[in-house]
Amino acid sequence: MADYTASFVSDPRIAFNKVTGKWEFEDDDGSEMEWGMVKNTWVLVVHTRLSSLPSIVHRPMSDTPPD
């Protein structure tokens, strides 16, 4: 089986994240990807912001204490 990751160290857009244990790639357009070891391909990373979550997550808590 080929070691695709051997060439990653020579590309300045690719870095190994010691926290996640994954290779990360930032494209010139700002897209971020992680290396998928199962299929040996780059997988797009989708970041979600709290502002894009449904409004139910952001509704205020009730002033009445729980029973």
Q: Please state, rounded to an integer, the average pLDDT across all residues of the chain.
A: 79
Phi, psi of 57 (to 5 degrees): -70, -30
Q: Which of 10, 34, 4 is nearest to 22 (CA)?
A: 34
pLDDT of residue 42: 93
pLDDT of residue 15: 94
Percent above pLDDT 90 for the chain: 37
For every residue of 42-66, DSSP letters joined together read: EEE-----GGGS-GGGGSPPPSSPP
pLDDT of residue 37: 86
pLDDT in tens, the chain (67 residues): 467 788 898 999 999 999 989 999 999 998 899 999 889 899 998 876 655 556 555 555 555 555 5
CB 12, CB 1: distance < 8 Å: no
